[in-house]
């Protein structure tokens, strides 16, 4: 029970990698704040999964791109569990188009959720996260891959990585701040709209000839959320099977 008595907010944890992280951390003793913006059914399913395995969790709806809702997310977590030890910034959106085909709305949506959302939660964490806590910002290996159609998405994640590095030196109070950058992972968000040919091509690009499973990423998050990782801060940890 590496995380016993730790209270952990996982944004965007109703499905995909976020859900896997939330359930694994709960198995290891953490009290989980499941966050979603508009996936109440899936968030409640995550809650039931955690309860069924003997864990403790609550569901809090909040759009991370809206500052007042992020403030309420932290305040509700503290009102329920009296503290927040770990923040995992997993909420994100991805729109895959050539740069010339993106609309202003596409740009705004991705930067509002992926960048402003992290900005909002880090601001709250600066005063409300417990001393000696941990922050994990979910980035993406697309930052290094230069894949066509990922210009805006990878730009948002590059911004997250740079905020991670700088904020790790600003926050103090014994709090570590890292980014976790998965490679191609079998999630609804990632697989949507992709051909089997493209999925096979991606699989062949790493050292294990497969896509990651969400649990592969969750296990790294477990380490980064635990005290075992305390001397690691200001880093981007790639979890991509030697893809990059």
Distance between CA 27 and CA 4 in Å, rounded? 9
Phi, psi angle pair for 213, to nearest 5°: -95, 150
Per-residue b or e along 86-115, where b marks 16 or more CB atoms closer than 10 Å to that residue's CB: bbbbbbbbbbbeeeeebeeebeeebbbbbb
- The answer to whether 169 touches 234, Cβ cutoff 8 Å, is yes
Instruction: Give catalytic status of residue 153 as yes or no.
Output: yes
Phi-psi category of residue 90: left, alpha or beta, with phi > 0 → left and psi -120 to 50 → alpha: alpha
From 81, 153, 167, 190, active-site residue? 153
Active site residues: 153
């Amino acid at each position: 029970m590496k995380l016993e008595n730790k209270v952990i907010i996982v944004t965007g944890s109703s499905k995909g990698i976020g859900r896997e992280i939330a359930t694994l951390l709960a198995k290891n003793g953490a009290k989980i704040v499941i966050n979603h913006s508009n996936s109440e059914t899936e968030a409640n399913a995550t809650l039931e999964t955690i309860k069924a395995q003997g864990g403790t969790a609550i569901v809090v709806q909040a759009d991370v791109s809206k500052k007042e809702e992020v403030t309420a997310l932290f305040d509700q977590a503290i009102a329920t569990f009296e503290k927040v030890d770990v923040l995992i910034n997993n909420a994100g959106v991805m729109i895959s188009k050539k740069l010339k085909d993106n609309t202003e709305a596409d740009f705004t949506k991705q930067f509002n959720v992926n960048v402003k959302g992290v900005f909002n939660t880090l601001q709250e964490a600066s005063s409300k996260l417990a001393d000696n806590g941990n922050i994990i910002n979910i980035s993406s290996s697309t930052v290094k891959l230069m894949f066509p159609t990922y210009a805006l998405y990878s730009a948002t994640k590059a911004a997250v990585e740079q905020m991670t590095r700088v904020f790790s030196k600003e926050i103090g109070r014994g709090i570590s701040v890292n980014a976790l950058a998965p490679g191609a992972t079998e999630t609804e968000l990632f697989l949507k709209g992709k051909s089997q040919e493209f999925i096979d091509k991606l699989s062949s690009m790493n050292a294990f000839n497969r896509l990651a499973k969400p649990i592969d990423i969750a296990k790294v998050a477990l380490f980064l959320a635990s005290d075992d990782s305390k001397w690691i801060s200001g880093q981007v940890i790639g979890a991509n099977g030697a893809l990059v």
